[in-house]
Structure formats: C-alpha cells, structure tokens
Structure 1
Amino acid sequence: MTRVLALDLGTSSVRARVYDENAAPVGGAEPQVPYEPKSGLADAGELLDASRGVVDQALGAAGPVDAIGCSAFWHSLLVLDERERPLTPVLTWRDLRSASYAEELRARLDPAAVHARTGCVLHPSYWPAKLAWLRGEEPGVFRRARRFVSFPDYLLLRLTGELRVSLSQASATGLYGRSGWDEELLEVLDVEPEQLSPVSDEQVGGWFPPLGDGACSNVGAGCVTPDRAALMVGTSGALRVVRPDDGRPVRAGLFLYRLDEERVVEGGSLSDGGNLHAWLERTLRLPGDARVADREPDGHGLTFLTLLGGERSPGWHPSAKGAIAGLTFETQPLDLLQAALEGVAYRFAEIADLLPEVREVVATGAALDANPEWTQILADVLGRPVFRGVAEGSSRGAAVVALERLGVEPPA
C-alpha cells in the first residue's frame, strides 16, 4: 500500500501527518509545533527545527513512506549569503514595511501589465516590493545576497541538499510569469536570475518541492473545478477556485497562481480573518463562549469596515484602515463581534462577485472551527450553499498531490 507523509507549514504552526493511498490519515503521531511570527517576520532556524522535528516524530510513529509532500505558506522571502546561510528573518506576507516601495514600483511600471504577466499586483505582500525595500533600506544585505528564496526552498535545501522551488510557490512571488522569472522586474530590481531558485516539481531525496498552502487547501477540500470554491478563514482569509490553465488572463482584483503545469489557482485574499476575531476577544474581553447565532442579522446598527490589516483583494490598498460606524452608548461587545463577522463576510462577497461561475463554497479553517456560526453568516451573505470542509485540508491536499505524482489516484 502506498503511503505518503504531508508536512503542513502554516502561518501559526507546523504539523505532519501520514496518509494512505486513499488520502486518509493513518494511525500514529500527528505532531504539531505552534509558532508566532513577530510583525510579519519568522525565524528560519526555528521553522527548520520544527519541521524536522514533526517529520521525524510522524515517521517514527507511522513507519516508512513512499514520498513526502508539503503544503507551505505562500509569498515568503529569505535572503541567503554565499554559504547559503540566512541574512534575514523570513519575511512573510504580513511584513508591510515595503508599502512605499510598492507605490514607487506602481509609478515606474505599468501595474496592469505586471498583473497580467505575473498574476500578482504590485503590493507589499509580494517579492518585488520587498526586494526593492531590501535594496533601499538594507543595501549591505542586498549586496551580500547570494540567493533570494522562499522558506520552503530553504527547507528543501537543508533537508535534501538541493535548491529548487515548485511552480506553485514561484507563481505566488509576484516575480514569475508564464515563461519564467519576469525579465522586466528582475532588471528594475537589479536581481539576476541566478540568484533565484531553479523551478522544478521533480522529486528530490524523497521530497516533492513544497506547494502553496492555498492550492493544497483547495485540493484537500475537493474544490478543483471552477464552480466549487474553497473559502478559508485562518489567521487571514481567502476565497479560491482551481481550474484548468486555458490561457485566460487574471481578472482585475484577483490573483492567479499555479497549482502545477495544468492547473491554476484564482481568487482573492483578505488580511482580516481569525486575527480580527482574536483581537476583538482580547480588546473587548469577550468570554470564550460568546456567540451571535441567535441575534438578528444586522440588528446592531453598525457598519464594520474590516481592514485592520490593510486591504488585499480586491482593491489591494495596504494602507487602508478599519472603521466602525454607527456606535452609540447602547452598543454592546456582542454587537461589535457580530458586525465584524458580517463585515468579513461582505469582504468575501466582493471577491465572490468577481468569480460568478462559483455555485457552491466549501469552508475551512481554524477560525471557522472555533466559530461555527460564522459559516452560516457567510452562507447568508454569499447567497450560495456553504459546506464545512475536511479538517486539515492543506495537509490532505499535499498528500493528494504527492499520491497523484506517484501514479495513485485517491478519491476526491
């Protein structure tokens, strides 16, 4: 029986699980190590040690596997020196220090053309702005850089001795087009192609190069057709579809990444999700059992603009700020919580309006697991059936793709 291990590198934890040829988890350890990036920065050594640890524990408990697949957070950037040692922390999408450099790039380049070529907008979540920031604010680091990689590239390098990046991860950097690394952006940023990882999905040392976590989430939830979207609310949020790559251009306001050579991932992302709920719990000192399910929809009279983390889709304004309108002396903490959950749902609706082919939605994510009433709010606002997805969708998706590449066709 074919078995694979899936390593899941999320934005707040690292975990590993072994799956059988039906993409069902097998018995044994399911180790997990939590971590918390500070101000959008993560420690590469800490993540590397955590990844090694959970993989060793899972294999020690479940025994040998035929291959290892990996789901890893998109958009990270790490600078390596001549000896391939980190010169910086891992810069995640939440590191928005490069916002002014994104504006400069938008003024210098044709933003619509860059979006059309790369599937990504000029925004501080992506590599072009971050690389421009490094060159401007950390010139010594930029000059010493031998490699610009994502953390998943670095992980693969340390575990197998070979450097490569999957097509899925490369496509979400904002620096990669249909024919390879984007020449205009490389020239503007003063980056040589040799400083970037070779792009390959070929297995190395028993590992398949890590895929983007959003792509894996769709696969794990069975959302691999244009009419079935995966909606995720974890720390942040995203609504995505997987469809065949038929050459259609990316739509305004959305991103277009790749799952593999044949399939693309199109959708939108939000900076406010479970992090907003956690902020409200801390700030308002809400009890852990605070619920809004029995309350009248929009009965609080509030409008909550959920942009506390800036805007990604569809407007991509990193400096956008959140706002609450309609406050009175009668406003209660639960009113604010309900307005926030509804506000996030309406942000998702803006993305869904750009994906009119979507007929049903599968909802996943730890924030929805902790707040099941949020799923009903999403269904009411989206006006589409919303079903709860499998737990650990990204992990299962990495396992499914690994099995496919081994020649096994697991059930959807």
Structure 2
Amino acid sequence: MKKYLLAHDLGTSGNKATLYSTDGKLVSSKVYAYDTHFFNTNWAEQDPDMWWRAVAHTTKAILEDVDRKDILAVSFSGQMQGCVCVDREGIHLRPAIIWADQRAQIETQELIKEVGIQKFYKITGHRPSPAYSIEKLMWIKNNEFDVYQKTYKMLLCKDYMVLKLTGKYVTDYSDASGTNALDLNTRQWSEEIVKAAKIDRDKLPMLIPSTQIVGGVTREAARETGLAEGTPIVIGGGDGACAAVGAASINAGDAYGCIGSSSWIALTVDKPIYDDQMRTFNFAHIVPDLIMPCGTMQTGGASYSWLKNQLALYEVSEAKRLGISPYTLINDLAKQSPVGANGLIYLPYLLGERSPRWNVNAKGAFIGLKMESQREDIFRSVLEGVAFNMNTILNCFKKHTAIKEMIVIGGGAKGELWRQIMADIYGVPILKPNFLEEATSMGAAIAAGVGIGVFENFKVINQFLKMEDKIYPIPENQEIYTRMYPIFEQCYTSLVDVYDQLATL
C-alpha cells in the first residue's frame, strides 16, 4: 500500500496542498485562494485565520482521495519575511504584516544608524529593509505598543500553521534568515541586531532545522483538518529555500532560476556570498549547513503578464478561440523578431526594483523604438530585458563561483524561446525539469520525508525530478547579446535621475 507526504505551499495569493507518494509521484493537489489587504500606499496585510482555513480546506479535499492513515507526515513551504504576533494562547493579535509591506522605513533607518549597513549585511546576509520581519515588529512596538506588550512570539506564515497543528512556537533557519534578525554565520538570533532593534529577545521563536518533527497533530487540529491525530508535523522552510530543493539545487555549486511573477536566480554554496555592492543576499538553505545566495527582481514573469494584458489583446482573443495559451501565440510572434529585437531594449522595472538595483523609484521603459519597430520586436525585447536583468544578478555570483548550467522553473520556463534567450545571455546550458511549478511543495515534502526517516537525505529529489530538455547557448546569438548587455546596463544608469524626478510627480 502506498504511503504519502502532504506539503502545503502558503503563497501570497493562496495555499496549494500537494500530495506526493514516497516513490516520487505527484498524486493530487488542491488550491484555496485568499486575498491581501493593500492600503496606505505601501501597506499589505493578511488574516492568519484565512491561512488556517485554506490549510484545513485543502487538507480535507486531499483526504477525499486517500486514507488519512496513509499520510506519513505534513510539512510546509511558506511566504517569507512576514510578521505574525501571537499571544501565549496562540491567538494572533492583529493581521499579519506580509513581505510586500513597506511601512517600516523609519525603523529600517534606525537599524542602519545603530549597526551600519555593511556590518548588518555581513551579519544577516541581507540589507536592512522594511520588507523584513524585525523591522515590522519594531514598527508594531513603535506604533501599537499594546499589541507588542501582549505578543508572546513573533512567527512567520508557515510557523503559525505549525502552531495551529501542534501548539508549538518554532521557526526554521531558512525562514529565520528572512527576518533580518538571524546571524547567518552562527545560525542564532543576533544579539547585536536584537539589541539595536530594541526588541525583547524572548519574543523570537526557537530555531530548529527544516527537517525537525515539531510534534503531532493535536486532537482539535485533527478535527478541523481531517488528519489523523498524532500525524507528524515537520516544519519545512521558507518558499525560496524549499524551491531550491524542488529545483535539485542541493549541492554546493548548483544553480537554479525561477521565472514567476517575481523572478530570481539562486545558488547553493557552503558559505555566504557577499557582493561588494550588496546587490544580492543570502538565505539559510533547508539542506543542513548550506547557504542559498539569491537575487530577486520584482517583475520578471510579471513583465510577461503585463505584455499579454496590455499589448497582446489580439493574441489573448485568438488563443481563447483556439483553446490554447495566449503565451504560445506571443512566443510565436516574438520568434519572428531577430536576436536583439532590432535594437529595442526593455527595462523591466514595473514595480521599482529589488536585486540588483535596490531602487524603489525605478520604472519600466522601451528604449530604441523607431518607425520600423514591429510588435514582434516589442514582444521579444520583453523576454530579453528580463534575461538581461537576471544576468546582472548572475554576474554578481560568477565573481565568486563557476556556474556550469542552470535549471529553470516557474511558468515562464515553459517557453522554449525564453529558455534559449536565457542560455544565450547567461552563457550556460538551461535545463527544464518535468515539474515547473511544484518546486516549493516538492522541497517541503522532501523535508518531511527526510525528517521522519523515509528518505536518507535530500538527494532523493532525483527520484522526483527528471530533466526533459537542455538548451545550449548559440555562439552567434551570444556575440550579439554580449554587445547589447553593456547598453542595457547604461540605459538603467542613465535614467536613475529621471526616475527620482518622476517619483516626485
């Protein structure tokens, strides 16, 4: 009789529960969507009870397909860099402030003043930023002191689900490395940063490995989810670190890219990679003792989506009539444009930019438009612009380690044209696995299997993941992109002052 591992991937727009058999097969998946409350320009909150309803609902739906006694363990991948304040009874005290929230700008400057930005980067592997958890907790202390006083522990998204299932207040190293409070070198909460933040140290949860069994499902949680009481709960990790396992980036030197709404390139290494300009950052991996250097751009796949919604209305309509994806038609048209899109450059900064620019004022642009420019040139330039920007991230890493090839996941990896463009611009072969959008849940499921001893180690990912395609760089294309890339970089730097002026309008 088959046995199963249940993984929940708690994202920004919903939770996806995925059931895997222990022999590496995806058996079933269920999705529960939820909303985000955006307000005050740059504030973003979610109701933690909504996450719990999503987990309970999708678990019950999964259990319609299998016997709950055959579920060996449950684990989680979760959105990172949030802040959930809970009391001693495990009740959340206010809505969760999620990763997208940027309100804690004053608190960020306080940390920079107290610690220094370079020293902070060397301790945590990250810049100080309103995006991170400790700055959000500082904001709560400064603006909602009654909530801060009642807070027993600050948790991350997945940690709150683990609390609801087991009654335990814990987090793992990967999620902790996204709080801006973890010393990445010692894997302990940084006393210097906690002191500078003026936060009570005991409000931070206990740190444990991603593969640790936190406890068993309580009687109350079993009633609400349908799981068998006592089912082991393995904590899992932050979504980016779980995705690394799901992309088979588990050994020092491995690299992967993700083309989702936001897009990133990440490595697996033994020690943090500190960029001299702090363009990239570092997370703790869910694989023990490894680090995941990463650079994340805001609108990679989102640029592709914007292109579809604003400039490809004919393709959207025609695709609906034909019963195919509009991106198939978009790619077909983009293929008609030559390498370099007839000299058209797209800057993919539709929501400002994180890595590599760290410029909230950055804007998108098409540079090089002329009377003979065609729609196919515009379409191709978007794919190339995203790849150029990702290449800037990749170049930060190439200074420190050799990169032989890259696995690419995410919805954007479906298109062969975009994978060829990436191969040509990055200068490395691009591999496409059989699963493109299951990496985070797959990583969490494997953490569960390792945690309960079903799998010896994370190398079992090779039973789950198979490479379906490998695209090599084309030398003549590389030559064109090598000439264009410095122009792409100059386009951005030339517009920095213009971006700042536009921000005042």
User: After TM superposition, is the score higher than 0.5?
Assistant: yes
The correspondence for 1:69, drawn from 70, 75, 83, is 75
The correspondence of residues 312-327 of structure 1 with structure 2, limited to 5 A, is 312-327=354-369
Higher relative contact order (CA 8 A, sep 6+): 1
1:234 and 2:260 matched: yes
Q: Aligned partners of 2:335, 2:114: CA distance in 1, in Å?
A: 49
* AA of the residue aligned to 1:377: I
- Return the alpha-carbon distance in structure 1 between the equivalents of residues 105 and 412 of structure 2: 28
CA distance in 2, matches of 1:88, 1:324: 42
Identify which of 377, 382, 405 aligns with 2:451: 405
Look up the SS of the partner of 1:30 in the other structure.
strand
CA shift, 1:23, in A, is 2.5
Deviation at 1:314, TM superposition (A): 2.7
Deviation (angstroms), 1:95: 1.9
- Are 1:21 and 2:63 an aligned pair? no
Letter in 2 for 1:33: Y
Match of 1:338 among 364, 380, 384: 380
- 2:171 aligned residue: 165
Contact 1:229 1:362 in 2 (8 A): yes
Q: How many equivalent residue pairs?
A: 407
* Residue type at the aligned position of 1:62: V
3-state secondary structure, aligned to 1:307: coil
Q: What is the aligned partner in structure 2 of residue 264 from structure 1?
A: 291
Answer yes or no: is the 8 Å Cα contact 1:80–1:147 preserved in 2: yes
Q: Is the 8 A contact 2:337 2:376 kept in 1?
A: no
1:208 positional shift: 0.7
Q: 1:148 is matched with which residue? A: 154
Match of 1:44 among 48, 51, 55: 48
> C-alpha displacement at 1:2, in angstroms?
4.8
Q: Contact 2:125–2:272 (CA<8 Å) still a contact in 1? A: no
Contact persistence 1:226–1:358 (CA under 8 A) = no
Matched, 1:33 2:32: yes
1:304–1:343 Cα contact (<8 Å) kept: yes
Alignment-derived partner of residue 13 in structure 2:
12
In structure 1, the residue matched to 2:487 is none
Decide whether the 8 Å contact of 1:13 with 1:33 is kept in 2.
Answer: yes
Alpha-carbon separation, structure 1, partners of 2:78 and 2:405: 26
Distance 1:140 1:338 in 2: 53
| TM alignment of 1:270-309, pairs within 5 A | 270-286=297-313, 287=316, 288=326, 289-291=329-331, 292-309=334-351
Shift of the 192–51 alpha-carbon distance from structure 1 to 2, 3 Å rule, reads same
Q: CA deviation at 1:232?
A: 0.7
Match of 2:193 among 178, 185, 203: 185
Quote the residue 2:500 is aligned against.
none
Structure 1 equivalent of residue 226 of structure 2: none
> How much has 1:5 moved relative to structure 2?
1.4
Q: Deviations over 1:93-142 (max 9, x none)?
A: 22223345434533443111111111111122212333343344545544
Q: Contact 1:148 / 1:195 at 8 angstroms: preserved in 2?
A: yes
Q: Counterparts of 1:219-230 in structure 2 under 5 Å? A: 219-230=245-256
SS in 2 for 1:256: strand
* Cα 1:124–1:372 shift into 2, 3 Å: farther
Of the structure 1 ranges 327-336 and 396-405, higher mean CA displacement relative to structure 2 is found in 327-336
Unaligned runs of 5+ in 1: none
> SS where residue 346 of structure 2 aligns?
strand
Deviates more, 1:375-384 or 1:133-142: 133-142
8 A contact 1:44–1:89 mirrored in 2: yes
Among candidates 50, 56, 61, match of residue 57 of structure 1: 61
Shift of 1:148: 1.9
**Aligned pairs for 1:97-116 within 5 A:** 97-99=103-105, 101-116=107-122
Determine the structure 2 residue equivalent to 1:311: 353
Residue equivalent to 2:410: 365
Structure 2 portions without partners, runs of 5+: 39-43, 217-231, 317-325, 463-505
Aligned residue for 2:137, secondary structure, equals: helix
Structure 2 CA distance for partners of 1:334 and 1:101, relative to 1, 3 Å? farther
Give the whole-Å Cα distance in 1 for the aligned partners of 2:394 and 2:376: 27
1:299-340 C-alpha deviation (Å, 9 max, x unpaired): 243322212222222343334333332344555554433322
Other structure's SS at 2:295 match: strand
In the aligned structure 1, how far is the partner of 2:359 from the partner of 2:72? 44
SS of the aligned residue for 2:378 comes to helix
C-alpha distance 44-275 of structure 1, shift in aligned 2 (>3 A): farther
Cα gap change, 1:192/1:334 in structure 2, threshold over 3 Å: closer, same or farther? farther
Q: Aligned partner of 2:428: which letter?
A: R
State the secondary structure of the residue aligned to 2:165.
helix
Alignment of 1:85-104 (within 5 A): 85-99=91-105, 101-104=107-110
Question: Does structure 1 conserve the Cα–Cα contact (< 8 Å) formed by 2:272 and 2:293?
Answer: no
Structure 2: distance between partners of 1:170 and 1:73: 12
2:423 corresponds, among 360, 379, 382, to 379
1:335 & 1:36 partners in 2: Cα distance? 36
Per the TM alignment, residue 385 of structure 1 is displaced from its structure 2 partner at its CA by: 0.5
Pairwise CA distance, 1:157: 0.8
Root-mean-square deviation (CA, aligned residues, Å) is 2.5
2:123 to 112, 117, 121: 117
Q: Which has the higher helix share?
A: 2
Contact 1:18–1:58 under 8 Å retained in 2: yes
CA distance in 2, matches of 1:23, 1:220: 12
CA deviation profile, 1:147-187 (whole Å, cap 9, x unmatched): 32111111111122111111121122111112411122222
Once the two structures are superposed, residues 56-95 of structure 1 have per-residue CA deviations (whole angstroms, 9 ceiling, x without a partner) of 2223312221111222222222223454333333333222
Would the alpha carbon gap of residues 92 and 276 (structure 1) be closer, same or farther in structure 2, given more than 3 Å must change? farther
Alpha-carbon contact 2:284-2:290 (below 8 Å) kept: yes
- 122 and 249 in structure 1: CA distance in 2 versus 1, 3 angstrom threshold: same
For residue 256 of structure 2, give the secondary structure of its aligned residue in structure 1: strand
Rounded Cα–Cα distance in structure 1 between residues aligned with 2:29 and 2:95? 27
- Paired with 1:411 and 1:284, the residues of 2 have a C-alpha distance of 39
Amino acid at match of 1:373: L
Q: How far apart in 2 are the matches of 1:125 and 1:365?
A: 23
